[in-house]
């Protein structure tokens, strides 16, 4: 269809509407247009200052960088604004250009440098320069990583790596210091502090978490001797441990009794566990009785008979003369024996360090309540559910099952109590309900989990029906071509033209007759026109009385509605 024809039909349709319909249609169009504009623009809406034609050049920089940037903007006569959070604004059309210009000048200077520092090759660099670049790169990468954490607004990491020493005793371990600036109303937990220390220690060789120090923007140490925070964290962890243990035992009791009593809704179990969270540490040293020989040494000497006399004594004649021949020595022959045995054993020793558990179970208390049985009985001529408690034997069996489920220990002082009560006192009322109420109750029980999905489906169905029943017929009516309507309008205009021609001919004829009779002086043209029109109307009223009556009714109705709208 031609666009002009479509527009013409829309205009014709709008003209045929009354005032109320026109106002409603215009208001609906304005609301739909405003909604579309809002949906299109709202997700891309920036902060309030962006509406004034300004964009963010830099934000959250150091004071030294901010001073250099403002000096550059003043020299180039670029308008700017500075907000309270160290955000510098300039006109939007100059943001990217000025960023490139400032980057070419090395601004901001305090921005963190990572491993991209090695992208530029410096052939004249010494080993010392390369080591400094490596430290800077590690510091920059660690700062970026820490700043990506949720509570951290800004982080500066400084690493000290000493020179390697050939003497192990003189070797100094590396250390690191971190300055953190936290986001407003946020705080680091002890586990997060430990995580940051482990992150830094893992990135630097030979660095331990004990040599990593953390401070905040106020110079206060973080994670050092904070006994109160550590105790709070420990208390919360102990409470979580206790609750998880109790929940596990409660679920065990419910799961084991549910098939017996008729469902999980007929069992209530509560467990109270007492723990000893005191940390115990002991060291045990054990010597191995089966010793192993490490070394063995044996020494044995034996000597028999007198030793042969040797020439000696005071220098002179006697000493130079040997033993006299033929003389016997009356001394006994010399005997000498020596034996020595040394055995060294390897002493076996075992040193074991025993650390107690996080929590030691001291005592268990369990309370279990189960529902009884119900049977149908006649009461006042109607069916009703009559409660029947469990027998003592059944309660004893349930008690035994509960003890087995929780690991009952009499020496530990554990206690288990099982009671039987009526869970559903409203059961007779539910049983006496009508069939429709029972069906509604079961339907709600089955479809309860699908309620949100059903709501969305109903909304979709309503919108679909509205589209099919209102929007589609309305659009088809606006776009359809009605040839009968065009013919009616055309015939109406033709009839009006014919009537106007007849009136003109009748007027000319009457004027001619009046001129011939000499009546032109006593009658004016307006009076004659009025008489002719009046006669024509009377003739039409006689010919079409019903159509004229309907026309007057419509005119009166429109007049009344317009008056009430004005009032």
Q: How many domains does the chain have?
A: 4
Q: Is residue 527 included in any domain, yes or no?
A: no
Tell whether the torsion through CA atoms of 13, 19, 20 and 24 is positive or negative.
positive
Q: What are phi and psi of 298, to 5 degrees?
A: -120, 135
Average pLDDT over residues 499-503: 68
- Could you tell me the pLDDT band of residue 404, with boundaries at 50, 70 and 90? very high
| Domain stops at, among 192, 224, 256 | 224
Judge whether 158 and 200 are in contact, CB under 8 Å. no
Q: Please state, rounded to an integer, the average pLDDT across all residues of the chain.
A: 75
**Is residue 12 domain-resident?**
yes
Q: Which two tokens stand for residue 116?
A: 């991209």
**How many C-alpha atoms does 55 have within 13 Å on its Cβ side?**
11
Q: Per-residue pLDDT tens for 124-175? A: 677 777 888 888 888 888 888 888 888 888 888 999 988 877 777 778 889 9
Q: Choose among 142, 226, 132, 233: nearest CA to 179.
A: 142
pLDDT at position 401 is 92
Span 280-322, pLDDT tens digits: 777 777 767 676 777 778 878 777 765 555 555 556 555 555 5
Burial class (CB in 10 A: 0-12, 13-18, 19+), 337: exposed
Q: Which two tokens stand for residue 131?
A: 């080591």
- The torsion angles phi and psi of 303, rounded to 5 degrees, stand at -140, 130
242 C-beta neighbours (distance < 10 Å), count: 16
The pLDDT value recorded for residue 242 is 92
Most confident segment among 20-24, 77-81, 485-489: 77-81
The pLDDT, as a whole number, for residue 48 is 45
CB atoms within 10 A of CB 245: 16
- Tens digits of residue pLDDT in 224-278: 655 555 677 778 888 989 999 999 999 999 999 998 888 888 899 999 999 988 8
What is the DSSP track for 168-235?
STT----EEEEEEEEPTT----HHHHHHHHHHHHHHSTT--GGGEEEEETTS-BSSSS-HHHHHHHHH
Task: Compare 139 and 483 and report the one with higher pLDDT.
Answer: 139
Q: Looking at residues 428-438, what average pLDDT do you find?
A: 55
Residue 511 lies in a domain: no
- Cα distances from 254 to residues 268, 368, 513, in angstroms, run 7, 9, 117
Q: What is the pLDDT of residue 244?
A: 93
pLDDT at 43: 45
Of 74, 104, 134, the last residue of a domain is 104
Do 369 and 244 fall into the same domain? yes
pLDDT in tens, 116-130: 556 666 666 777 778
- As a three-state string, the secondary structure of 492-538 is HHHHHHHHHHHHHHHHHHHHHHHHHHCCCCCCCHHHHHHHHHHHHHH
Query: Which range (410-414, 434-438, 538-542) has the least confidence?
Result: 434-438
Q: What is the CATH number of the domain that holds 376?
A: 3.30.300
* Residue-level pLDDT at 443: 73
Instruction: Give the model's confidence band at 417: pLDDT under 50 very low, under 70 low, under 90 confident, else very high.
Output: very high
Domain shared by 264 and 363, yes or no:
yes
315 in any annotated domain: no
Q: Kindly state whether residue 316 falls inside one of the protein's structural domains.
A: no
Range of the domain at 39: 3-44
pLDDT of residue 178: 92
| Residues 205, 246 within the same domain | no
List own/partner pairs for 41-46 with CB under 8 A and 24 or more apart.
none
- The pLDDT value given to residue 433: 52
Note whether residue 359 is domain-resident: yes
172 Cβ contact list (under 8 Å, min separation 6):
162, 165
Q: Is residue 480 classed as helix, strand or coil in its secondary structure? A: coil
Q: Which residue has the higher pLDDT, 340 or 20?
A: 340
Are both 159 and 270 inside the same structural domain?
no
Asked if residue 73 belongs to a domain, the reply is yes
- Asked, for residue 216, whether it belongs to a domain, the answer is yes
b/e map 202-220, b = 16+ CB within 10 Å: ebbeebebebbbbbeeeee
Q: What is the pLDDT of residue 112?
A: 58
Cα(222)–Cα(190) distance, integer angstroms? 9
């Amino acid at each position: 269809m031609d666009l002009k024809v479509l527009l013409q039909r829309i205009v014709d349709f709008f003209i045929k509407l009354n005032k109320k319909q026109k106002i409603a249609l215009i208001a609906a169009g304005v609301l739909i247009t405003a909604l579309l504009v809002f949906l299109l623009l709202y997700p891309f809406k920036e902060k309030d200052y962006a509406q004034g034609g300004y964009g963010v050049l830099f934000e959250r920089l150091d004071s030294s960088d901010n001073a250099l940037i403002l000096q550059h903007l003043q020299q180039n006569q670029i308008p700017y604004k500075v907000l309270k959070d160290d955000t510098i604004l300039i006109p939007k059309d100059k943001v990217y250009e000025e960023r490139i210009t400032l980057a070419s000048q090395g601004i901001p200077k305090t921005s963190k440098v990572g491993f991209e520092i090695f992208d530029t090759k410096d052939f004249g660099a010494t080993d010392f320069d390369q080591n400094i670049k490596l430290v800077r790169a590690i510091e920059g990468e660690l700062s970026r990583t820490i700043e990506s954490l949720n509570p951290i607004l800004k982080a500066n990491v400084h690493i000290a790596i000493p020179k390697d020493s050939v003497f192990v005793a003189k070797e100094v371990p590396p250390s690191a210091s971190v300055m953190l600036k936290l986001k407003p109303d946020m705080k680091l937990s002890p586990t997060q502090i430990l995580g940051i220390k482990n992150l830094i220690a893992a990135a630097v060789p030979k660095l331990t978490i004990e040599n990593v120090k953390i401070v905040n923007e106020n110079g206060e140490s973080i994670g050092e001797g904070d006994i109160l925070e550590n105790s709070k964290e420990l208390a919360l962890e102990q409470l979580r441990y206790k609750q998880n243990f109790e929940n596990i035992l409660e679920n065990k009791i419910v799961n084991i009794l549910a098939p017996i009593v008729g469902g999980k809704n007929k069992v209530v179990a509560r467990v109270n566990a007492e723990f000893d969270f005191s940390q115990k540490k002991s060291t045990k040293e054990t010597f191995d009785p089966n010793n192993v020989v490490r070394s063995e040494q044996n020494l044995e000497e034996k000597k028999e008979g007198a030793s042969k006399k040797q020439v000696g004594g005071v220098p002179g004649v006697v000493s130079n003369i040997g033993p006299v021949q033929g003389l016997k020595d009356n001394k006994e022959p010399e005997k000498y024996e020596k034996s020595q045995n040394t055995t060294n054993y390897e002493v076996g020793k075992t040193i074991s360090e025993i650390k107690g558990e996080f929590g030691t179970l001291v005592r268990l208390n369990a309370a279990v309540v189960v529902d009884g049985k119900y049977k149908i009985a006649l009461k006042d001529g109607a069916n009703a559910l009559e409660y029947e408690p469990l027998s003592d034997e059944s309660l004893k069996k349930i008690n035994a099952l509960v003890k087995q489920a929780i690991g009952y220990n009499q020496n530990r002082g554990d206690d288990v109590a099982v009671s039987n009560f009526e869970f559903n006192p409203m059961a007779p009322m539910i049983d006496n309900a009508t069939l429709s109420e029972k069906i509604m109750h079961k339907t709600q029980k089955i479809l309860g989990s699908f309620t949100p999905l059903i709501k969305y489906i109903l909304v979709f169905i309503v919108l679909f029906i509205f589209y099919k029943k209102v929007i589609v017929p309305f659009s088809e009516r606006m776009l359809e071509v009605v040839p009968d309507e065009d013919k009616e309008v055309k015939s109406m205009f033709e009839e009006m033209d014919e009537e106007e021609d007849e009136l003109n001919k009748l007027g000319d004829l009457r004027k001619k007759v009046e001129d011939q009779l000499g009546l032109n002086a006593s009658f004016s043209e307006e009076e004659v026109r009025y008489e002719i029109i009046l006669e024509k109307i009377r003739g039409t009223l006689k010919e079409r009385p019903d159509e004229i009556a309907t026309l007057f009714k419509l005119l009166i109705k429109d007049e009344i509605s317009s008056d009430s709208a004005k009032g």
